[in-house]
């Protein structure tokens, strides 16, 4: 499971833990390890529901830090009429799969 503290939301993913790769164990639903690293990067202009948006990435690490990258979190940012930035959507991409869920309120 990847928990996003910015949004207080989670996306359940499957993947192999770096320290247990040789044993063939996988992450169990609800199991917590790792974190994010160094904030957003790779900004790219995009579009969301007909309006301009900014797509950014965040590197996700496993329990052993930077050497055990588990994937990338992608955030699609939009601005409301008051000029406040909001996350319109987010998803996780690993080497094997893409994991997402519909955002609450979007």
Tell me the pLDDT tens digit for each residue of 55-91: 999 888 766 655 567 788 899 999 999 999 999 999 9
Query: Cα separation of 42 and 25, whole Å?
Result: 32
Q: Determine contact, residues 70/81, Cβ cutoff 8 Å.
A: no
**Per-residue confidence (pLDDT) for residue 65, from 0 to 100:** 59
Give this prediction's pTM: 0.75
pLDDT at 26 over 80: no
Summary mean pLDDT of the chain = 78
pLDDT at 22 over 60: no
**Per-residue confidence (pLDDT) for residue 47, from 0 to 100:** 95
């Amino acid at each position: 499971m990847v928990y996003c503290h910015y949004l207080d939301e989670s996306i359940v993913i499957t993947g192999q833990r770096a320290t247990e790769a040789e044993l063939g164990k996988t992450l169990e639903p609800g199991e917590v390890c790792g974190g994010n690293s160094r904030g957003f990067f790779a900004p790219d202009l995009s579009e969301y529901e007909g309006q301009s948006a900014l797509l950014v990435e965040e590197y996700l690490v496993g329990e052993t830090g930077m050497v055990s990258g588990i994937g990338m979190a992608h955030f699609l940012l939009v601005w409301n009429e008051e000029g406040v930035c909001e996350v319109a959507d987010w998803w996780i991409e690993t080497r094997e799969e893409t994991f997402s869920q519909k955002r609450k309120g979007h």
